[in-house]
Homo-oligomer: A and B are copies of this chain.
């Protein structure tokens, strides 16, 4: 049975040794969704057309969080991301905001966790700014969409 990579034979946590891994350009896309009432979505959209501030705040929060991934997730390696991007799409059909994040670096480990962290904190920030009018929102579908680089090469989520 394949072992979990962050546990040694005794089942104890440790940060995996990546010293010998090749330095390659690696990138990862992640996504997530904040489901909300049509009313809340309209509030964001109205703000978005005029000032965009709700999405701006969430975008910055996501970018900042990606840089703090190793500080938040105990067994993640510290990384020097060379690119972070967070995009939003207002989705009337699904009644919510779709979030996508891209992280990129030239380094020894993948950046899925950084992209997932950017999406998660952007989602939490949207939640925070809208919770007074819509406490029943749900954050869902946070997952890796695609990653490139490293030994495992290209990986893509099922549609």
Contacts and interface: CB of A to CB of B under 8 A. Distances in A.
A53 B11 contact: yes
Copy number of this protein in the oligomer? 6
Contacts of A155: 135
Contact of A10 (B51, B129, B143): B51
A57 B82 CA distance: 19
A73 interface: yes
A12 B83 contact: no
A35 B84 CA distance: 26
A155 B134 CA distance: 12
**Among all A-B residue pairs, the 4 with the closest Cβ atoms:** A11-B51, A17-B83, A139-B142, A56-B56
27 contacts: A1-B43, A1-B46, A4-B44, A4-B129, A4-B133, A5-B133, A6-B128, A7-B54, A11-B47, A12-B87, A14-B83, A14-B85, A15-B84, A19-B104, A51-B56, A52-B53, A64-B71, A65-B72, A78-B79, A79-B80, A112-B135, A113-B127, A120-B120, A138-B142, A139-B141, A139-B143, A140-B140
